[in-house]
Chains A and B, each alone.
Chain A
Amino acid sequence: MSHETESKFQNTTGHVWDEDLQEFNNPLPGWWLWTFYATMIFAVVYWVFYPSWPIGKTFLKGINTIEYVNDKGEKKSSSWNTRALLLQDMNEASKAQEKWVSKLAATPFDKINTDPELKAFVVSAGKVLFQDNCAACHQSGGQGKFNFAPNLTDDDWIFGGSYDAIQQTLVNGRHGIMPAKGGNAALTDADVTALANYVLSLSGEQANAASAEKGKELFAGAGVCFSCHGADGKGNQAIGSANLTDKIWLWANVPGAKSADEKVAAVKEVITTGLNRGVMPVWKGRLSDEQIKLLTAYVHELGGGK
């Protein structure tokens, strides 16, 4: 049987399994083979020039060297590595940006908005800085996170929305504190309910009128709320006390509440426990002055500033 098949296919490797299972001998084209050899030679040449084999705790570094400027601005030279290559690329990129960075540094804040090209630079370059440093809390679009970090795209500025105020916030950081029950531990649950109803009524939310009336007295009296939030409840940007009369809520989940009772409960919780969470870190020293200026302009642009 196997004789028959052998006579049919002359060009086989001559290996036969299971009587008639054979292997064709189809030659590879020469150019293909030589390309394969060439890749081997290429690999050996590569080992000589570039980092390759691990040797114990170190590795074969290769004879290729690379020059780069490190983050302290010092010129360095080392065996070739991709980290240095990245630094080279970063240096090139920042050189390409330099024209705009220096233009921004020389432009007073109020003139940035009148230069469309500079503004476009602030939006695109600021976005990158923002993503790297701010988005962890304020989210990628600056929309903030409820009960955590304020929304930067609206027109409510807790510590002020002017260029100077935003720059101060970035340079020195912020820490928003509200004492539990405004510092007056004697307030009863009923008092807090009354205050919550009043605060809701300030924003035009549905509230129990009688309770709110009582809350109004407490707000200006025993509750000592007025000392920070002001007699009219509009807050004080100098100390970062919130404006209670607008429709923006950061800590009490009023927009997410399904019923009037839930809204009251949400506000009550904030009043009862107070706040010690609104911490914005200090960025001076972590970012350069130019970067802080760029971010200031970017954040101002996000919400339209004040």
Chain B
Amino acid sequence: MENQASNEGSLYQKRIPIYPRSVKGKFRNFKWAILAVAYLVYFGLPWLPWERPDAPDQAVLFDLVGRRFFIFDMALYPQDIIALSMALFIAAVTLFFVTTLVGRAFCGYFCFQTIWTDFYIWIEHLVQGERPARIRLHKQPWNFEKIRKYGLTHALWLLASFWTALTFVLYYGYAPELLHKFFTGEMVNAGYITVIALTISTYLAAALLREQVCIYMCPYARFQGVMYEPETLVVTYETKRGEGTKGRHPAVQGARTREERQAQGYGDCIDCEMCVQVCPEGIDIRDGLQYKCISCGLCIDACNTIMDSMGYPRGLVRYDSETNAKSDNPVQPKLDLLRIRTIGYGIFILIMTGILVYNLATRTSFEESVQQVRQPLFVVLTDGEIRNRYQVRITNKTDHEETYVITTKGIPDGALDFGGLTNEVKVRAGKSLMVQVNVKLTPEEAAKTDTFEFIITPKDKPEEAGIRKVRFSSKHEG
């Protein structure tokens, strides 16, 4: 309501500034822990050394020029894109799984937007003080104190944004070398552009836009509803207990203890608004489940603190399911794991993880492909024999030069012609090589041969031989 009133006469909605109050509690501690781990991983990984024979000693390195992606002991190539899509699929299903169990846990605890915003609010708090101090500062006219504090806050935000952006770039090369290049002006333009773009976008998203990203830009907030079920645990205000029969009421003289309040028909909610003040999205959880709620649990911490100080039982705001919270006798909320959705998602996760692990475990040391030349599909030679041509491409994914032997099955041995080369091909580490192979058959043989197989065998790992079935064409179809 307040929202609409302030916009009277204006076509555009103004952002209502939010000054989240700091809070202590188990959800706050959980969020700090995740933030610490996430930042340690993100900012630290590019600096983790890792022995490599043919690339910089860096644990995680995305070599765009060489098209190789090193993740600890794994070297992935663009051909392994299937593993990435599988990982993304698993991530998506895990998200659905978690959402149907405990609501938007990703939003509240793990999303970059949440983590960075949390960190930026912490900076704001550090420089400008607690919520009332920040509101006072916002309202006071521009003076030296306001300029100093706002300037320092924005400077720290920009610094954090810059380091975030720079760290992202460090993943794409040898970090110490890149860092030196960056500050001596020797980095490629793409690097500088990326750093500038990410600095600006991080600053915008985490310092200025904050909850507006979740409310206006993020699609997940809008479709979360379809993943919720009545059994899903969500941050819930127990209306019946909080409102009583006469609604919430401040804990004034004569309405302090529960007995006094219950006698007068008041609920347990003393209307202190702590749950609203700590909310980074600026909402009131007592209005019920809403799309703006990112389910971070800070209002639970806030309410529990107040309940403790009032001597009331905890859990007026808690993680609970709709069915339980609305029932006449709510019991201790618990995870409801055995539902069609959770079981379905769970099975999907297991299957896809199984496939991914199998996929990564059985990766071969090379990649082969054989393509028939289609222009022309076949050639009739002077003696009436028929020739097809094939392009055999071998990608060596090891860190040393390797020799591959090309043989065939299903056609006579003499039919292969490598045009001056032999059937043993040397391919350098991490490189691809394409070899043209001519296959010549007599008209009689050609009539019998519809398909045959190319066999590409690494010389020192015969067990990894790759087999590719190809067609042999001798007449135009139809």
Across the interface, A30 reaches (CB within 8 A) one of B4, B14, B433, B435, namely B14
Q: How far is the CB of B75 from chain A (nearest CB, A)?
A: 22
Chief secondary structure at chain A's binding surface? loop
Query: Could you tell me which residues of chain A, from 255 to 306, have a CB within 8 Å of some CB in chain B?
Result: 255, 301, 303-304
Instruction: Evaluate contact between B434 and A123: CB separation under 8 angstroms.
Output: yes
CA distance A124 to B433 in the complex (A): 11
Across the interface, A27 reaches (CB within 8 A) one of B12, B376, B421, namely B12
Q: How far is the CB of B404 from chain A (nearest CB, A)?
A: 11
Q: Which residue of A lies closest to B424 (CB)?
A: A116
Interface pick from A85-93, A139-147, A178-186, A214-222: A139-147
Q: Return chain B residues, CB-CB under 8 Å to A123.
A: 391, 434, 436
Instruction: Evaluate contact between A156 and B216: CB separation under 8 angstroms.
Output: no
Query: Could you tell me which residues of chain B, from 422 to 442, have a CB within 8 Å of some CB in chain A?
Result: 425-426, 433-436, 438
Instruction: Evaluate contact between A120 and B435: CB separation under 8 angstroms.
Output: yes
Instruction: Evaluate contact between A27 and B434: CB separation under 8 angstroms.
Output: no
Q: Return chain A residues, CB-CB under 8 Å to B380.
A: 154, 247-248, 255
Q: Return chain A residues, CB-CB under 8 Å to B212.
A: 29, 31
Instruction: Evaluate contact between A143 and B375: CB separation under 8 angstroms.
Output: yes
Instruction: Evaluate contact between B433 and A141: CB separation under 8 angstroms.
Output: no
CA distance A139 to B376 in the complex (A): 9
B209 within 8 A of A: yes
CA distance A28 to B389 in the complex (A): 62
Query: Could you tell me which residues of chain A, from 94 to 118, have a CB within 8 Å of some CB in chain B?
Result: 113-114, 116-117
Q: Return chain A residues, CB-CB under 8 Å to B376.
A: 139, 141-143, 151, 153
Q: Which residue of A lies closest to B9 (CB)?
A: A25
Instruction: Evaluate contact between A301 and B381: CB separation under 8 angstroms.
Output: no
Q: How far is the CB of A305 from chain B (nearest CB, A)?
A: 8
Q: How far is the CB of A136 from chain B (nearest CB, A)?
A: 14
Q: How far is the CB of A269 from chain B (nearest CB, A)?
A: 22
Instruction: Evaluate contact between A141 and B419: CB separation under 8 angstroms.
Output: no
Size category of the binding interface on chain A: 35 or more
A164 within 8 A of B: no
Query: Could you tell me which residues of chain B, from 387 to 436, have a CB within 8 Å of some CB in chain A?
Result: 387, 389, 391, 417, 419-421, 425-426, 433-436
Q: How far is the CB of A89 from chain B (nearest CB, A)?
A: 14
Instruction: Evaluate contact between A33 and B12: CB separation under 8 angstroms.
Output: yes
Encoded as 1 (CB less than 8 Å from any A CB) or 0, chain B from 359 to 391 comes to 000000000000001111001111110010101
B15 within 8 A of A: yes
CA distance A232 to B259 in the complex (A): 123
Instruction: Evaluate contact between B382 and A247: CB separation under 8 angstroms.
Output: yes
Instruction: Evaluate contact between A30 and B13: CB separation under 8 angstroms.
Output: yes
CA distance A156 to B417 in the complex (A): 17
Query: Could you tell me which residues of chain B, from 1 to 35, have a CB within 8 Å of some CB in chain A?
Result: 4, 7, 10-15
The 10 closest A-B pairs by CB, nearest first: A141-B375, A113-B420, A143-B376, A246-B382, A27-B13, A154-B379, A153-B379, A247-B384, A27-B12, A120-B434
Binding site for A on B (CB under 8 A): 4, 7, 10-15, 209, 212, 216, 373-376, 379-384, 387, 389, 391, 417, 419-421, 425-426, 433-436, 438
Q: List 29 A-B contacts (CB under 8 A).
A: A11-B4, A27-B10, A27-B11, A27-B13, A29-B12, A29-B216, A30-B13, A30-B15, A31-B209, A114-B421, A116-B426, A117-B433, A119-B421, A120-B434, A123-B391, A139-B375, A140-B375, A141-B376, A143-B375, A143-B379, A151-B376, A154-B380, A154-B381, A154-B382, A156-B381, A246-B383, A247-B382, A301-B419, A304-B417
